[in-house]
Amino acid sequence: MNIAISNASDKPIYQQLFEQISAQILKGELENGYCLPPIRQAAQELSISVITVKKAWEALERYGLIHTVTGKGCFVAELSADRKLEIRNEMILKQMLLDTSYYKSFGLTLDEAIEMLKKVY
Amino acid sequence: MNIAISNASDKPIYQQLFEQISAQILKGELENGYCLPPIRQAAQELSISVITVKKAWEALERYGLIHTVTGKGCFVAELSADRKLEIRNEMILKQMLLDTSYYKSFGLTLDEAIEMLKKVY
DNA sequence: ATATTGTGAATACACGATATGCACAATTTG
DNA sequence: CAAATTGTGCATATCGTGTATTCACAATAT
């Protein structure tokens, strides 16, 4: 597990965990079928609670990124590259919808948004 | 005051207030020197607490959008159109920096981001 | 059988957001 | 000057979320 948890972040720990793991899965850094570490072990390694790990794993499962088997462990789902791309874009689009509503509230136009995007990217 | 507060929103009330008022000021919908309603009255109209209004007003003051005088009230600052545009862009860029870090964590390229932006805008 | 792993419930604590009430300071108004 | 208005500050309380700890249970592997 290559995870960086920050207590300084404004995002809750389980959210950070979810985002980082899901990105790793969708980028193919974690292979299909890969067995995630047991929640107790992950919790200990990251110095966080089991519940927090569980919450992140649940979110991963809701998106179909992993499947869990009691007594065995949690495994990265068998997903095609195309399907992974779909899920990635769904996630990003969903977030972008929220982000742009903020921009729009200031009367920012699409062209202005693109200009700014180029500047910060 | 034309404000819509939603308890369903994930954003805290004072944040919603701040965003809406600042957008109105920066878009020129509230003229320079305009006197905002007394915090007690605003609180009553919106059915929220005085503290919550205060918190939003404080944020507005930190950005130089209003100035407060004890005993008199809170007034929209005297800002040129150029300065307003500057502040608006500062605010949006600041947020966009956070937003794009999320996109980048999925390996999204600038071109892909622009394409998606066009789709959702 | 025993160990491992996930699940679930109970309890507790911290923090932020929010609400209420009261007292104080500065300004305006009569 | 006195009263009303307005912003400020503090104390207290409530509520929800995030987090941690612990224990018991279920399913699987050895």
Domain boundaries, chain A: 9-79, 80-121
Q: Which two tokens stand for residue A60?
A: 């991963």
Q: Which amino acid is at A64?
A: G
Which overall architecture, per CATH, does domain A9-79 show? Orthogonal Bundle (1.10)
Q: Which pLDDT band holds residue A1 (cuts at 50, 70, 90)? A: confident
Tell me whether strands B66-69 and A73-76 are parallel, antiparallel or unpaired.
unpaired
Q: Which nucleotides of D are covered by protein (CB under 7 A)?
A: 4-11, 17-23, 26-29
Domain B1-79 has CATH 1.10.10.10: yes
**Secondary structure (DSSP) of A55-84:** HHHHHHHHTTSEEEETTTEEEE----HHHH
**Nearest residue on chain A to B114, judged by CA atoms?**
A114
Distance A81 CA to C4 C1' (A): 33
Average pLDDT of span A69-82: 96
Residue with tokens 């007594």: A71
A100 and B120 in contact (C-beta within 8 Å)? Answer: yes
Partner-chain contact B105 A26, CB within 8 Å: no
CB contacts of A91 in chain B (<8 Å) are 106
Q: Is the CB of residue B101 less than 8 Å away from at least one CB of chain A? A: no
Q: Is the pTM of this model over 0.85?
A: yes
Q: Is the CB of residue B92 less than 8 Å away from at least one CB of chain A? A: yes
Nearest CB partner across the interface for A116, out of B26, B92, B103: B92
Q: Which two tokens stand for residue B20?
A: 């809406």
Q: Which pLDDT band holds residue B1 (cuts at 50, 70, 90)? A: confident
Given this model, what pLDDT does residue B49 score? Answer: 96
Q: For residue A90, which of A111, A108, A65, A113 has the smallest C-alpha distance?
A: A65
Q: Is the CB of residue B3 less than 8 Å away from at least one CB of chain A? A: no
pLDDT tens across A8-48, in order? 898 999 999 999 999 999 999 999 999 999 999 999 999 99
Residues whose CB falls within 8 Å of the CB of residue B79, separated by 6 or more in sequence, listed in order: B25, B32, B64, B65, B87
Average pLDDT of span B15-31: 96
